[in-house]
Amino acid sequence: MAHCLIIVVGEYPDRQLKPFSLYAGGSEREDEDWKYDWYEIGGRFSGCLKIKEPRKPNWLSSLLGIEATTGVNQAKKREIKVEELAKVFPFELLRDGQWYEEGLEDESAREHWCERYMNILRELPDDTLLTAVDYHM
């Protein structure tokens, strides 16, 4: 069992993830098509989306001593330093119902798939929502 990072592209990350759950349909699946048994937005990868402009805390948070943050779990592409995601690779992508995952047998394969994923992210419209999700498999 392991924790993995997936970047969910677009609105409603919960809806996008649901078909890939071990428990999709209300009970444990018997097929091998599931990808995770549970997930959490951010989770162990909390703050991995580095943003260009720090987000200031709201009034109450600032009273509690919480400072501006430069890492978030969800933001529009235009707010994110997309190139920074190459530093947290390997990660997977979920876009338009397609779960992108590739084997990372060696350094060459790793570089190839990292570049492929980064190209997908670079080509997204700036107003696309990206969500970092920690999933357990």
Residue % of the chain over a pLDDT of 70: 91
> Residue 39 burial (CB < 10 Å; 0-12/13-18/19+)?
buried
Average pLDDT of every residue of the chain:
86
The larger pLDDT score, comparing residue 50 to residue 55, is at 50
- Output the pLDDT for position 29: 65
Please determine, for residue 40, whether its predicted confidence score (pLDDT) is greater than 80: yes
> Would you mind telling me the total number of residues written for the chain in this entry?
137
Which tens digit of pLDDT belongs to each residue from 52-97? 998 887 877 777 887 878 899 999 999 999 988 888 777 889 999 9
Cβ–Cβ < 8 Å for 5, 136:
no
Please determine, for residue 114, whether its predicted confidence score (pLDDT) is greater than 80: yes
Please determine, for residue 27, whether its predicted confidence score (pLDDT) is greater than 70: no
- Output the pLDDT for position 105: 65
Please determine, for residue 43, whether its predicted confidence score (pLDDT) is greater than 90: yes
Average pLDDT, stretch 12-23? 90
Domain count, the chain: 1
**In terms of residue numbers, what domain contains 95?**
3-136
Cβ–Cβ < 8 Å for 99, 92:
yes
Average pLDDT, stretch 5-23? 92
